[in-house]
Amino acid sequence: MIMQHPIQAPSVALDSSERKRPEEALRESEERFRTLVQFSFDVYWETDAQHRFIRQEFAETLPEPPVSEIGKTRWEVPYLEPDADGWRKHREMLDAHLPFRDFELARPTPEGGKRYISVSGLPIFDTTGNFVGYRGVGRHITERKRAEQALIESEARFRTFVDHATDTFMLHSEDGHVLDVNRNACESLGYSRAELVGATAALFDLDMDEATWRSNRERLKAGDIATLERRYCRKDGTVFPVEVRMREFCERGQSRVICLSRDITERKRTAETLREMQAELTHANRAAAMGQVTASVTHELSQPITAVLCNAEAALNWLGTQSPDLEKAQQALASIVAEATRGGEIISWIRSLIKKAPAPKESVDVNRAIMDVITMARSELLKHDVLIQTDLAPGLPLVEGYRVQLQQVVLNLILNAIEAMNGVDVGERELRISTAADASNLVVVAVRDTGPGLDVAMVDRLFEPFYTTKPHGTGMGLSICQSIIEAHRGRLWTDANEPRGAVFQFSLPSDQG
């Protein structure tokens, strides 16, 4: 701000009879003035009408001893700043005898550095209105200048950092307009800075409109970082997935939203590959488990085939006599149809277990699914002298899910239990499978064995992939079981069985939950 009115030098008329007192008063006033300079400014100066320094008073607090410039004009002392143009403008002001305030200049220091000073001055006129010079003050501002410079440099550094980041940075105003972008934003979207600044995110964000922006901002109000998945569209029309982190903050009283987005094409691809690999593994595990129970499967299939043969022979007999018994032949043929249907069912069930493509989700009757698995595992149970007992709760609510996968879990748990009981005496090998619905209608399935039980120290590791204590184990069974149960929004856990052995249990949310 420039001071508006030049002031006049006060004229002091002294009465000779009061000479001593005014001298005293002058000395006191000088002292007061010096104290003022000492505590308020770094330098007090006066120049004459030719801008020559005629007085300089320095504060005692100055870090280095000041060099007096008395007798030199302003232009005779060395300056590093401002440049010639800055000086020319300042000189115009001085020549026009105008007041000035906070004129910043830099002088060289003896060590070759810069000392910044902010100077203010008032033109002085005598009683007849003639310009007699300037009076003014100066303040050393080197520290402040350094801090400002450091800030500018750190902002420039930050800018370089942001520009070289592989993520996209965008600064938005409250209403969603882009205020600033980094280089990656332009490179990844194919727009120039000028095209992006001033536009809204709707230019490149396929899922963004005014309402979405508003609701996102409302979520941000809490001061949290919101993380969203979105689809960005480049200028050439190609689309790629991004993860966006948004945060609102205040910049000079204005609300701003900073968005940092990262291209997640690779991450998505990896997740997809992982999913595929897991599906492959799940299938391989199922096929391996099926391999272990082939004897039961063969047995299950041979039963309807034998029945079909017997009934066909009987039908032939009933029809081959002199007076064919049509009614009996019809009964035999009906049995053939029933047994063939049963055989067909077994085949399609086995096929569904072995098939790679997942069957659609369905409402699963958990008790029935378990009974089918027990049928499959029967010969394995017999071979290892394991007594099986079931305690299936009647009227169990249905579970929404993939029947085959849930059966795979039960089959894995049964096979693990059989293997665990191999080491205990025949006659003590008992497998008990129970189902129940708990108070919140979760369906809980428990598979208990009377094997050696679980090593307490290792319980946490059982579900880790590749953890196995068996010479030919894969260590994938329980890990796959867990991921299947979790995909059904359920939980799989383990406990000690009473009086011995292990219990593996899982719970699943039901239709009625």
Site residues, ligand ADP (CB under 6 A): 416-417, 420, 449, 451, 454, 462, 467-470, 473-479, 502
CB of 500 to ligand ADP, least distance (A): 11
- Residue among 165 and 281 whose Cβ is closer to ligand ADP: 281
Among 510, 502, 498, 281, residue whose Cα is nearest residue 395: 510
CA 288 to chain CA centroid, nearest Å: 39
- Residue among 43 and 414 whose Cβ is closer to ligand ADP: 414
CB of 390 to ligand ADP, least distance (A): 17
CB of 364 to ligand ADP, least distance (A): 22
The DSSP string of 362-401 is EEE-HHHHHHHHHHHHHHHHHHTT-EEEEEPPTTPPPEEE
CA 356 to chain CA centroid, nearest Å: 34
Say how many residues make up the chain: 513
Buried b (16+ CB within 10 A) or exposed e, 250-271: eeeeeebbbbbbbbbeeeeeee
**Do 392 and 435 meet the contact criterion of CB atoms below 8 Å apart?**
yes
- Residue among 37 and 424 whose Cβ is closer to ligand ADP: 424
- Residue among 271 and 458 whose Cβ is closer to ligand ADP: 458
Strand order in the sheet with 254-263: 178-181, 168-173, 254-263, 239-251, 226-233
CB of 449 to ligand ADP, least distance (A): 5
Structure tokens of 441?
Answer: 């209608």
CB of 475 to ligand ADP, least distance (A): 4
CB of 493 to ligand ADP, least distance (A): 13
CA 258 to chain CA centroid, nearest Å: 14
- Residue among 150 and 426 whose Cβ is closer to ligand ADP: 426
- Residue among 317 and 474 whose Cβ is closer to ligand ADP: 474
Q: Which residue is nearest to ligand ADP (CB)?
A: 477
Fill in the DSSP letter of residue 177. Answer: B
CB of 369 to ligand ADP, least distance (A): 20
* Distance, CA of 57 to CA of 298 (rounded, Å): 112
Cβ contacts of 59-64, under 8 Å, gap ≥ 24: 62/140, 63/140, 64/109
- Residue among 351 and 472 whose Cβ is closer to ligand ADP: 472
